[in-house]
Amino acid sequence: MNHLLRRHAPITDSGWRLIDDEAVARCTPALAARRVVDFSGPHGWEHSATNLGRTTALASAPSEGVSALQRRVLPLVELRADFSVSVGELRDHDRGALDPDLADLDAAAYRIAVAENAAVVHGWSDAAIAGIAEASPHEGPALADTVDAYPSPVAGAVELLLRQGIAGPYGLLLGREEYTRVIESAEHGGYPLLDHLHKILGGPIVWAPGVNGGVVLSLRGGDFLFEAGQDLAVGYERHDSDAVHLYLQESFSFVIATREAAVSLRPPARVTQRSRTPRSRQGDRRA
């Protein structure tokens, strides 16, 4: 048994299959960042830090006649979202019920996916993670208030990346509101906006809950690295006569190798601004 302590839960094999399948089904659509960045791992729960290949000079050494450097690493962070499953629902599932209530699990899956997306795109200063949007040195255009005008800032971002020598294809992460406006729209009532944007980018347009506005970034690879320690897993906390208390958990770091490989698209002015986190230093290999 490992750190997830699943063997202590009063859950049958069939119940675990139900919970794991539901967690995968609910997490996967919302894990937007993983659709556009490089993924390394999983390296296991014991994996604690990402090598940055950098050093810091130490002011002193243990004795005279030697110099000293200290390696810099980016520690992995742990994200956890708690949820509960009714004991009665699990027993009904074992009897063959087809509609178990897993709403609390569904909400936890969404919460942890949103947190992962936000950390990768907007950064997480307390964890020394630099986000793609905040780290970009480009002054990105704002998304227009009218959806007909969306292709212009996206095309501008692609041209900006080309000018920097950043090859495509390119992907576009869009926040919930912006994504909805794109998929419900056709330009001048004709050509679907989604198809037009896809032709500009050459890559996917991704629904990204937790993202404010949008980000155009290169998918050529090697620019953005998500490193997983323990990939998303369901663990056991405790149980009582009514419910089994479980959690979704992952450990990861995120490192930007080429901050120029993305352009942030600010949300339209009428969309409420999300507080922007300060840029981090340690999470960027070129910082």
Tell me the angle at which helices 193-201 and 151-163 cross, rounded to the nearest 10 degrees. Answer: 0
Contact between 24 and another protein by CB under 8 A: the answer reads: yes
The closest alpha carbon to 19, from 117, 137, 103, 81, belongs to: 103
Tell me the angle at which helices 13-30 and 87-95 cross, rounded to the nearest 10 degrees. Answer: 110
Contact between 50 and another protein by CB under 8 A: the answer reads: no
- What is the spatial distance between Cα 142 and Cα 264, in angstroms, rounded to a whole number? 8
Residue of 102, 135, 154, 228 that binds another protein (CB under 8 A): 228
Which residue's structure tokens are 């296991």?
A: 44
Residue 16 or 138 having the CB closest to another protein: 16
Token duo for residue 227: 């490193």
Contact between 85 and another protein by CB under 8 A: the answer reads: no
Contact between 124 and another protein by CB under 8 A: the answer reads: no
Token duo for residue 276: 């922007």
Residue of 230, 258, 277, 280 that binds another protein (CB under 8 A): 230
User: DSSP strand E in the chain: where?
Assistant: 38-40, 49-57, 69-75, 77-86, 170-174, 202-207, 214-218, 224-228, 233-239, 243-256, 262-265
In the complex, the smallest distance separating the C-beta of residue 60 from another protein, rounded to whole angstroms, is: 38
Residue 77 or 232 having the CB closest to another protein: 232
Residue of 119, 208, 219, 263 that binds another protein (CB under 8 A): 219
Contact between 29 and another protein by CB under 8 A: the answer reads: yes
Q: Name the one range near another protein by CB under 8 A: 5-13, 48-56, 98-106, 238-246.
A: 5-13
Cβ-based neighbours of 108, under 8 Å, separated by 6 or more: 81, 82, 83, 247, 248
In the complex, the smallest distance separating the C-beta of residue 20 from another protein, rounded to whole angstroms, is: 6
Residue 171 or 267 having the CB closest to another protein: 171
Interface with another protein (CB under 8 A), residue total 37
Give the largest CA-CA distance in the chain.
77
In the complex, the smallest distance separating the C-beta of residue 251 from another protein, rounded to whole angstroms, is: 11
Residues 233-252 that bind another protein (CB under 8 A): 233-235
Residue 42 or 168 having the CB closest to another protein: 42
- What is the spatial distance between Cα 159 and Cα 157, in angstroms, rounded to a whole number? 5
- What is the spatial distance between Cα 26 and Cα 90, in angstroms, rounded to a whole number? 18
Residue of 105, 160, 232, 244 that binds another protein (CB under 8 A): 232
Residues 149-208 that bind another protein (CB under 8 A): 207
Residue of 7, 95, 163, 270 that binds another protein (CB under 8 A): 7
In the complex, the smallest distance separating the C-beta of residue 131 from another protein, rounded to whole angstroms, is: 18
Question: How far is residue 82 from each of residues 18, 20, 234, measured CA to CA in Å?
Answer: 17, 14, 10
Instruction: List contacts with another protein (CB under 8 A).
Output: 1-2, 4, 6-7, 11-13, 16-17, 20, 23-24, 27-29, 31, 34-39, 41-42, 44-45, 207, 219, 226, 228, 230-235
